[in-house]
Structure 1
Amino acid sequence: MSVWLDNAIARANSTSDWLSPIRAASLAVLKNTSWPTRKTEAWKYTSLKSLERATLSSVAVANQDMPDVIEGYDSLNLVFRNGVFDANALTDELPDGLTITYLPAASDAVKQSSLEELSKIKPERHLFGLVNDVLAQNIVRIEVAEGVAVCQAIRITSLVNLHAESHTRVFVKLNNGASLTVSEHYQGDVESLNTGFVEYDIRADAQLEHYRFALQTEKAISIGGCHFKLGERADLNSTLVGFGSDLSRVDTDIIYDGEFANAKLNAFYLLDGKELFDLHATVEHAVPNCTTLENVRGIVADRAKAVFNGRIHIHRHAQKTLAELNNRNLLLSDKAEINTKPELEIYADDVRCAHGATVAEIDKHALYYLESRGISRRKAQVMLNFGFINELIDQMPNQVLAEWIRPQIRNRFAQMEVTR
């Protein structure tokens, strides 16, 4: 067992509030869960040594940082500072049919009903999901009423100070026929720990447009997840963008709970220096007639390391499933490392499924062609790298967010050295 985890369990044991039933259940599992090592399959290529070495404090301090400005992005802003929800940041009047509840300040009836929802979508196997269960206190619940289409996006931003710990939890419920856009933003580069988990209950005929920008870098330790349950004819379009840090990991789960649901997951990550980014994506096809399209791309430079594990599980009764998983990677250095493991586990016989993974380097012929047209080698490398990722940026439904992330991607490419 880790010293850090022992301390986290001790802190959780000393806390008593309305979340005690969830905390007690997760503590019982956590106490019997081994601290991951290289022999732990889910953590085989990702070391937790940076967390064990980090100097962290659970005492909340004032955080005056501001979220990055996104010009033209019409959003309702939910801001967490060192894990503490900043109610003052939510200044706009909520549209009809949208409810945002800060659960610690809610009525006993709302708290009780929320206990029946929380941690029901996030699988129990996620170690840091359990940690978040026992340490998170500032929980926010978002609900869209039946048939309501919310025009404004919900932007969730987590800001963390030097040496601070942040454990945030958000629960989002879209009732039948509702629609919503949610973007999760994680930023910062100082030594800190952030576990940010969001659960999405997407009911029949509901539509969710989702983004997760895991943009913490350098010494920031970020371990979190986004977990989705889809009802009948529900539609999910999710985009994940990741930069690396000392330790950055995202677990995402899509669970089909109703027929004729569809999910599209696009993800890309850009790593440099000694950065690490680990993406584990699991899709559970438990019912028939559903579709999953998953496209993941990564570019890794210098001595950085990328880990991707994509698993699509087709259950016995999930006939007429269509599932495709593709992972493509570019290595820009002989010392960079990519560990990719796409998996299809199929128990139904009437399905169409495909998966694949590639690891390559920049096309030397394309590089030579651009240089022969008077383009500098450095600029040509940036152009080819950007072209590899730009297809997924073009597929982002929200063009404001696409134009906001593009210059950040270009700047990151400009800093990445190509040595192969």
Structure 2
Amino acid sequence: MSEFQSHALVLAQQSTGLPWLNEAKQACADQWQTEKWPTRKTEAWRYTSLQSLESTLWTLPSDAALDALPDELMALDAIRVVFVNGHFSSQFSSELPASLSLFSQASDAEQQAILAKFNQVAKVEKHLFSQLNTAALGEGVFLNLRANQRLEKPVYVVHIHTGSGASDYVGSRLLLSLETSAEAVVIEHFVTLSDASPMFNAVTEVDLGENAKLKHYRISMESEQALHLGSVHAALHANSQLTGFTLATGSRLKRIDYHVRHLGSGADLDLQGIYLPKHNQRVDYHTNVEHCVPHCTTNEVFRGVISDTAKAVFNGRIHIHQDAQKTLAEMSNRNLLTSNRAEINTKPELEIYADDVKCAHGATISQLNDESLFYLVSRGISEAEARVMLSFGFVNELVENIAIDEIKEWLRPRMAKAFGQSDDVVRHLIHDESID
């Protein structure tokens, strides 16, 4: 057991909330201390160092007052669930509907419903930091939609770190259960209000019943010093639909995993992602899609723009099991390097054991097109602005696919700043949507 694992166990023991989850928490604590700590020789962590995680003595954050919600939040007509330094803020949250509850406020019946779903989709024995998330869990959010139930408004879960603790460990758990033909839209948003370096350990579990539909957005645009270890685990039953969108800027350490299993015929996954590291930042996306049954579809598209001396990793795997005949699965990863020192390690994988399938995968790495750059500069646009516009155009198609207009409008200026801050470019991106 590594020194960090020992310290994390102490951290988990200090998390005394949710006694009705103690059995699950203890089981994960026991697993955590027996796991082999990953190194650069571990294939799944080959290109991502955990040194920034190991070099800090993490502490559980204290509750912090917030005078007002930051301007960085989206202007959404939504059911808002706000956490400040890991603590639920009733002041800034909406009144929660009966289908949405906090773990700490769950009734006996809700506790039993949570226990029936908890760690059933997220196979924590295979995922190291999901074990830590469970062992140190102090709070969670449970969305439980009954058959044919549909939320009229999106659920907007916001995690805000104020910067009061530079070594705060902020764990979060989102448990989504949609029964037959239920529908929902859920947005997760991670925000830091300073240059402090908290660690977010965020796990999302999704269980979609027959014909259920979920649109899930995950936005991770914290400060450059923040650490983020996140994962989304989803189980798709017959004819269910999961539409996922994820966007991440870089930081000292940012690793986000998606694990999706097709468990019922007709299930459909559409997963799209954007990553935008710059300076000396790091971003690491790992996705794994298991086609266990026939007649399911997957469309996975990730695009990255890597600048300066930043590094990114994309490892996407689609596994077609022997019984998964008539599968349609496609995966694409495209990358744009805007600097000679930027780096991307991409590894798309198809593992196929069925013979009646239609599958494709591919990856590209390119640089800014000199002719396009010259075209824009020759029309009076500065070279710096032209580079930002071309970078935005590289990922704009995925932004345009977002179904909620308020999210698109919120993203455009912030993406422009991520590429290279310029008010003129922001105005171009907002008012000239013809850039592509």
TM-score (norm 2): 0.91
Alpha carbons of 1:59 and 1:239: their partners in 2 closer, same or farther (altered >3 Å)? closer
| Distance of 2:96 and 2:199 partners within structure 1 | 32
* Identity over aligned pairs, percent: 38
In the alignment, which of 186, 189, 197 is matched to residue 185 of structure 1?
Answer: 189
In the alignment, which of 375, 378, 384 is matched to residue 372 of structure 1?
Answer: 378
Residue 102 (structure 1) shift: 1.6
Residue 15 (structure 1) shift: 5.8
**Contact preservation (8 Å) 1:79, 1:159:** yes
Question: Which amino acid is 1:119 matched to?
Answer: N
In the alignment, which of 204, 215, 228 is matched to residue 209 of structure 1?
Answer: 215
Q: Does 2:132 match 1:131?
A: yes
**Contact preservation (8 Å) 1:209, 1:236:** yes
Alpha carbons of 1:93 and 1:185: their partners in 2 closer, same or farther (altered >3 Å)? closer
Deviations 1:12-39 (A, max 9, x none): 3466621112112212321221111101
Three-state SS of the structure 1 residue aligned to 2:34 is coil
Q: How does 1:163-242 map to 2 (within 5 A)?
A: 163=166, 164-188=168-192, 189-242=195-248
**Contact preservation (8 Å) 1:63, 1:82:** no
Match of 1:334 in 2: 340
Residue 414 (structure 1) shift: 2.2
Show structure 2 runs of 5+ residues with no match: 423-436
Moved more, 55-64 or 243-252: 55-64
Question: Which amino acid is 2:41 matched to?
Answer: K
Show structure 1 runs of 5+ residues with no match: none
* C-alpha RMSD of matched pairs (Å): 1.8
Three-state SS of the structure 2 residue aligned to 1:116 is helix
Alpha carbons of 1:206 and 1:126: their partners in 2 closer, same or farther (altered >3 Å)? same
Residue 322 (structure 1) shift: 0.4
Moved more, 172-181 or 122-131: 122-131
Match of 1:28 in 2: 30
| Distance of 2:205 and 2:81 partners within structure 1 | 15
Match of 2:89 in 1: 86
| Distance of 1:213 and 1:227 partners within structure 2 | 16
Match of 1:300 in 2: 306
Residue 68 (structure 1) shift: 4.2
Alpha carbons of 1:77 and 1:351: their partners in 2 closer, same or farther (altered >3 Å)? same
Match of 2:60 in 1: 58
Residue 103 (structure 1) shift: 2.0
Moved more, 71-80 or 302-311: 71-80
**Contact preservation (8 Å) 1:102, 1:139:** yes
| Distance of 1:196 and 1:323 partners within structure 2 | 28
Three-state SS of the structure 2 residue aligned to 1:25 is helix
Residue 114 (structure 1) shift: 1.6
Alpha carbons of 1:367 and 1:157: their partners in 2 closer, same or farther (altered >3 Å)? same
Deviations 1:105-161 (A, max 9, x none): 323343233222111111322211111010011122111221122120000111123
Question: Which amino acid is 1:134 matched to?
Answer: A
Deviations 1:222-246 (A, max 9, x none): 1111111111111111110110001
Question: Which amino acid is 1:280 matched to?
Answer: H
Alpha carbons of 1:296 and 1:71: their partners in 2 closer, same or farther (altered >3 Å)? closer
**Contact preservation (8 Å) 1:36, 1:43:** yes
| Distance of 1:67 and 1:313 partners within structure 2 | 42
Three-state SS of the structure 2 residue aligned to 1:383 is helix
Residue 415 (structure 1) shift: 4.1
Deviations 1:264-303 (A, max 9, x none): 0110011111100111111011111000000000011111
Deviations 1:377-408 (A, max 9, x none): 11211111111010100001111101110110
**Contact preservation (8 Å) 1:288, 1:321:** yes
Three-state SS of the structure 2 residue aligned to 1:348 is coil
TM-score (norm 1): 0.94
| Alignment: residue pair count | 413
Question: Which amino acid is 1:5 matched to?
Answer: Q
| Distance of 1:302 and 1:69 partners within structure 2 | 25
Match of 2:156 in 1: 155
**Contact preservation (8 Å) 2:277, 2:283:** yes
Q: Does 2:99 match 1:99?
A: yes
Residue 70 (structure 1) shift: 5.0
Residue 55 (structure 1) shift: 4.9
Question: Which amino acid is 1:37 matched to?
Answer: T
Deviations 1:339-376 (A, max 9, x none): 11101111111100000001110011111222223322
Residue 72 (structure 1) shift: 4.7
Question: Which amino acid is 1:90 matched to?
Answer: S
Q: How does 1:241-280 map to 2 (within 5 A)?
A: 241-280=247-286
| Distance of 2:118 and 2:309 partners within structure 1 | 39
